[in-house]
Chains A and B, each alone.
Chain A
Amino acid sequence: MSQSVGYSSTPPSSSSRFSQPSVSSLSSPPTSLYSNPQHPSSSSSSSINTINNANSNPNRRESVRSSIQPSSLQQQLFGSSSNTNISGGGGGGSQYQPILDRSLNKSKGSEIALSAWAFMFAEIISYSQSRVDSVTDLEKRLSSLGYEAGQRILSLLLLRNTQTSNLKDPKREHRLIPILQFVHTQIYKYVFGKPADGLERGSDALDEYMIILNESPLTQFISVPKDMSDLSCEAFTAGMVEAVLDGLDVPARVTAHWVGDRYPEHPQRTVILIKLDQKVMDREEALGK
């Protein structure tokens, strides 16, 4: 390898293209990715890096380059950080706009197929199922996933609502009933394409509300086996509703219950039960009618 190090004069052979002066670590992302962890001191000049690496192990470097080269799904979605940083957005990989750089207001063309969701959700459930001991744990896992989704949905929806009203009349509900109606109508419409089929108050307890959906698009293909009949995969939706309520400062315990056995015409009917925190009830009472 010694003759290829003399990059200053001789034209490089095919194996020594990394030691060309033109391909410095600044213009070539793979090189900089590789050499940075080996030489954390950024003060050392790039030419020294190049020589050291070319001397030490050119094969290893070749393998690193080839492992970076194919555009992975992650790169397509989020963009390769090294590429965008170094080339400044111009040049390669421009046909995939990173998901984080897309406009938040553009909802057209950003939908995905329901089947894609259904397959992914099915995989999530079978993955989670192999890592839990009980149905309760599984519901907890799904619920925490839904919570993550709900947090994002709330902030996105509030932002979009504000921007569609042209910043003139930004509105954020603060009373209990309008908040529940906001969940029932706007959140459900955004997530499922239609408002929920019912919003009811619990008959025996004042702090219980129910959001009813006859057929959820999220779980419409799932049929739970008989030995797990108390499992409701709508726990995901419950977690989502809980996050939205939390975000609007209405802490509550939200659970999903399948009641299809009592409604023959809607065998997938699910109730999202909202048990409000005492704090919310106290505040509502203080605020009055």
Chain B
Amino acid sequence: MTIHGLWVISKAGGLVFSRSYSDTLPPQPVNTILTLAGILHGIHAITAKLTPAQIPGVPVGGLESFEAEGWGGKVFLTPTGTKFVLLHSLPQAGLDELLRRVYEIYSDAVMKNPFHTPEMPINSSLFESKLQTLIGGVNAA
């Protein structure tokens, strides 16, 4: 399994972080990624409303993954509304654990950084280097 890229979408639907970790998917201009992230955010909100049989007491999640030819995406929604999207090759395994690790790195390197403004693009070298180590390790395996 290869991780092609990671997006972080703020709770307002803005793309605050995006990185590509492989050359398999053709590189997109930043504006295209911004639009795609916005569309994903919208679809996620709609799917949360589409649940046919809601179980009382269980929070409604929304879109969790999508698949295309040869690649797919896994969406992880945090309790605060931030979304992490991993673009990966198929078949995939262990993405839940990986997303939890990404969330952990985000909590450490972004939320505890006094120079980060919430809902604004992430500009932390520590976040990037930790992600590089994590995802580089997965891609190399």
Contacts and interface: CB of A to CB of B under 8 A. Distances in A.
A122 B129 contact: no
Nearest to B128: A223
A87 B108 CA distance: 45
A23 interface: no
B126 interface: yes
Interface string A218-230: 0001111100100
Nearest to B129: A267
A225 B115 CA distance: 7
Nearest to A221: B112
Contact of B113 (A115, A129, A223): A223
A121 B112 CA distance: 8
A98 to B, nearest CB: 29
B129 A222 contact: no
Interface string B111-138: 1111100000001111101000000000
B106 to A, nearest CB: 11
B87 interface: no
Contacts of A126: 114-115
B109 interface: yes
Contact of A119 (B112, B123, B125, B126): B112
A123 B111 CA distance: 11
B33 to A, nearest CB: 23
A243 B127 CA distance: 33
A224 B115 contact: yes
A124 B115 CA distance: 11
A223 B108 contact: no
Contact of B115 (A115, A118, A121, A223): A223
A145 to B, nearest CB: 14
Contacts of B125: 223
A125 interface: yes
Nearest 6 interchain pairs by C-beta: A125-B114, A221-B112, A223-B126, A122-B114, A118-B112, A126-B114
Interface of B: 108-109, 111-115, 123-127, 129
Interface of A: 115, 118-119, 121-126, 129, 221-225, 228, 267
